[in-house]
Copies of this chain bind each other. A is one copy, B any other.
Amino acid sequence: MMNFSKTFPYLVSGILLSLSLFSVGQPPRGPLVISPQVHPDKKVTFRYLSSFAKDVKLSAQFLKSPVAMTKDTNGIWSVTVGPVKPDIYPYSFQVDGITVMDPANVEFFPNERFKASLVDIPGFTPLIHAMRDVPHGAITYEYYPSVEGSTGSVVVYTPPGYDKDNAKKYPVFYLISGTTDTEETFYKVGRINFILDNLIAEGKAVPMIVVMPYGNPMARIAEQTGKAKPGDIMMRDGEDAINRAKLFENDLITKLVPYVEKNYRAISQNEKRAIGGFSRGGGQTLRTAFGNMDKFSWICCYSAYLSTPEMEGSFKSLLENPVRTNNDLKLLWVSVGVEDFLYPQTAEFLNYLRSKSIGYKSMITDGGHTWMNVKTFLAETVQLLFK
């Protein structure tokens, strides 16, 4: 007879948990905490274990402000909120004023500065970013030779069936995340893979490769050469900002695009290359696309813009001949939420484009500078690309 509780004493209630936590310096813990728990009516219960905390709150992007949690006799703090509109939301706990991720939840928001967990509230019918029973593409983490002798990291989506037909070639969508996000964010938070799997299965999107670079090569180079990573959030002055923007563009154009076109079955043709991005990545998208009109025919700018002085200083030739510009571009997309702190500037950018007779498509949504909006923008734009 097998006796598992003898065989694996460390798998018995609580003991392994204590050991694991002890190994990173935490005190042993008691009861198992289930969090988050999404109920069928789309209410959600969040739980956090602490016998000694004095005040625990839930912060979440579906809440206007943090809500108090209450403690039971086991020391488990909890709150049930909602119903919440189905989507994926970042959240965290405020424990005596200190921000912590949910220890019971493995889903997280990859970011260089803030630490947040993710709660996925499924739709009554599966949302466009849900894992559905359709053929799945794959996500690949690659290392490539980047600028200044550094090694770049990039995440690549290949569509379902990519490995089946060695003759077929695909268009490529370069997709750049925002400040403090990483090359993982469009996968882990944006769910680009499931959005494309679903839209391809419905015949609404063309099978494509999606290439997601890291947006801050200056920080990566510093790290790899053993220097202290520079202030990776702040562009302290104009010169630094220009150097960073140029470095990113150089990396993309001279290193990453050639690497992708050598190592993937990518079509090397401007009409089969798209570029898009969110926030800082949206600005990088516009600069890189406008500065390399021979490389990209499709532009997707999410929650970002360029100022009139920059447009007139750096991209005058595009404005002088709008007929040619409109002819060269298959798509110039700009979208933003009305609660986005960049809404006014983005609206001004759209007005400016219109005044210069540059054609564009736009989408104005509810909501702010969030990845809920990014997923909406993604699902809309990938249906337009390469058609």
Taking Cβ atoms with an 8 Å cutoff, the residues of A that contact B are: 1-8, 10-14, 16-17, 19-21, 23-26, 32, 34, 37, 40, 50, 52-53, 57, 59-61, 63, 65-66, 90-92, 94-101, 103-104, 106, 108-116, 122, 131, 133, 136, 138-144, 151, 163, 166, 179-180, 182, 187, 224, 226, 228-229, 231, 233-238, 241-242, 263, 279-280, 283, 306-307, 309-310, 313-314, 341-342, 368-370
Option from B116, B142, B309 in Cβ contact (under 8 Å) with A138: B142
Those 4 A-B pairs whose CB atoms lie nearest each other, nearest first: A25-B59, A4-B241, A136-B143, A7-B307
- Expressed in whole angstroms, the minimum distance between the Cβ of A26 and any Cβ of chain B is 5
- Expressed in whole angstroms, the minimum distance between the Cβ of A371 and any Cβ of chain B is 10
**Cross-chain contact B233 with A32 (CB below 8 angstroms):** yes
Option from B23, B231, B368 in Cβ contact (under 8 Å) with A32: B231
- Expressed in whole angstroms, the minimum distance between the Cβ of A261 and any Cβ of chain B is 13
Q: A98-B50, A100-B99 are in contact. Are A23 and B280 (CB under 8 A)?
A: no
Give complex CA distance A43, B226 in Å. 14
Chain B residues whose CB sits within 8 angstroms of the CB of A94 once the complex forms: 25-26
Give complex CA distance A17, B34 in Å. 31
Give complex CA distance A25, B95 in Å. 12
Q: Which residue of B lies closest to A48 (CB)?
A: B98
Q: A8-B280, A23-B369 are in contact. Are A53 and B98 (CB under 8 A)?
A: yes
Q: A25-B66, A90-B23 are in contact. Are A151 and B136 (CB under 8 A)?
A: yes
**Cross-chain contact A241 with B23 (CB below 8 angstroms):** no
Chain B residues whose CB sits within 8 angstroms of the CB of A5 once the complex forms: 235, 237-238, 241
**Cross-chain contact A99 with B103 (CB below 8 angstroms):** yes
Q: How many copies does the complex hold?
A: 2
**Cross-chain contact A241 with B11 (CB below 8 angstroms):** yes
- Expressed in whole angstroms, the minimum distance between the Cβ of A123 and any Cβ of chain B is 12
**Cross-chain contact B136 with A37 (CB below 8 angstroms):** no
A and B contact pairs by CB, cutoff 8 A, 6 listed: A8-B235, A10-B341, A23-B61, A25-B59, A26-B92, A138-B142
Chain B residues whose CB sits within 8 angstroms of the CB of A370 once the complex forms: 23
**Cross-chain contact B96 with A104 (CB below 8 angstroms):** no
Option from B34, B92, B237, B238 in Cβ contact (under 8 Å) with A24: B92
Chain B residues whose CB sits within 8 angstroms of the CB of A231 once the complex forms: 32
Chain B residues whose CB sits within 8 angstroms of the CB of A8 once the complex forms: 235, 241, 280, 283
Besides the known contacts A5-B238, A8-B283, A100-B115, 17 further A-B residue pairs in the complex with CB atoms under 8 A apart: A4-B242, A7-B307, A7-B309, A7-B310, A13-B234, A14-B234, A24-B60, A25-B94, A34-B229, A96-B96, A98-B100, A99-B100, A106-B182, A115-B115, A136-B142, A138-B142, A138-B143
Chain B residues whose CB sits within 8 angstroms of the CB of A151 once the complex forms: 131, 133, 136
